[in-house]
Amino acid sequence: AKENGRNLSQFFTREMNDEATERRALETALHQALEREEFVLHYQPIVDVQTGNLSSCEVLLRWHQPEYGNVYPDKFIPLAEDTGLIIPIGEWVLQKACREAMIWAKKTDTPPGVSVNMSSRQFQRINVVELVQNTLEMTGLPAERLTLEITESLLIVDDETVIEQLHKVRELGVGLSIDDFGTGYSSLSYLRRFPITTIKIDRSFILDLTSDSEAAAVVSAILSMAQSLNLKVVAEGVEKETQMEQLRKGGCEYIQGYYFSPPVPIEAFRLMVLKEGPM
């Protein structure tokens, strides 16, 4: 047993070294990713489920790393947050998204809105109001077409400067959406204290929606609460027709998920924008 223990601990040390090495290599690569233009944005449609029309989209960052291949955000966003690289990367995402959204505006009378993920670190480290205001001025995108997706974790840090930024961003006319709703902090008091416009029901509830009556109860409670508070609701991670149907009947207005489309490159999304009528 003693020997086993030693082998095991050697094994773990080696594993951890590999992980640390991998992390360092990834960090070096991440430092160069912006200037080497290795990032691209993908767009996932958010569909008005009552009409079937494309309403807006979520912007999702993709990293094509020449050596490691495609690195997904769940892997590199936490690293970007830890290293502070999320600041320049986040700026790039916002500017690129607003610029690209302006291109569609010229091609259709009903250009979709864009939702951009914001890290809590951005609100804690920089003035997001200035960033957003400058970006809107620079690109000419009307504020009403932009929504920032934030997480519940940002709303529970009781930080005056964060709270003020959220109010000012909203005053510009930009929407504020709570991402992964239902997975975080359980008090809902922040829904009244912050100028939220939209909530996005987390995928985990949608996954169990048609098989688990408790998940279904949570979803319908969220829907009726949102209605009383006059908030828009987006259901995330909708993959099946049965889920879509149940949400539609329950009065959910917006749906996002593989059922309609996965996140796609700009060229493919452009075709969806140009295609008039239901998706």
Question: Which chain residues interact with Ca ion by CB under 5 A?
Answer: 117, 149, 179-180, 236
Across 135-170, b (16+ Cβ under 10 Å) vs e yields bbeebebebebbbbbbbbebbeeeeeebbebbebbb
- Cα dihedral sign, 205-162-78-17: negative
Distance CA 244, CA 256 (A): 10
C-beta of 125: minimal distance to ligand C2E in Å? 13
Partner from Ca ion, ligand C2E, none contacting 263, C-beta within 5 to 8 A by type? ligand C2E
Residue 5 is encoded by which pair of tokens? 């223990």
Q: Check binding of 237 to ligand C2E (CB under 6 A).
A: yes
Partner from Ca ion, ligand C2E, none contacting 12, C-beta within 5 to 8 A by type? none
Partner from ligand C2E, Ca ion, none contacting 132, C-beta within 5 to 8 A by type? none
Residue 7 is encoded by which pair of tokens? 């082998």
Q: Check binding of 175 to ligand C2E (CB under 6 A).
A: no
Q: Which is nearer to ligand C2E, 96 or 145 (CB)?
A: 96
Residue 276 is encoded by which pair of tokens? 């008039």
What type of residue sits at position 277? G
Residues 6+ apart with CB under 8 A from 150: 118, 120, 123, 166, 176, 177, 178, 179
Q: Which is nearer to ligand C2E, 11 or 258 (CB)?
A: 258
Q: What pairing do the DSSP bridges indicate for beta strands 198-201 and 232-235?
A: parallel
Q: Which is nearer to ligand C2E, 39 or 108 (CB)?
A: 39
8 Å CB contact between 244 and 49: yes
Identify residues 19-78 at the interface with ligand C2E (CB under 6 A): 44, 60-61, 72-74, 77
Q: Which is nearer to ligand C2E, 73 or 140 (CB)?
A: 73
8 Å CB contact between 53 and 255: no
C-beta of 189: minimal distance to ligand C2E in Å? 23
Q: Check binding of 179 to ligand C2E (CB under 6 A).
A: yes
Q: Which is nearer to ligand C2E, 108 or 203 (CB)?
A: 203
Q: Check binding of 208 to ligand C2E (CB under 6 A).
A: no
Rule CB under 6 A: which residues touch ligand C2E?
A: 44, 60-61, 72-74, 77, 93, 117-119, 179-180, 203, 237-239, 257-258, 263
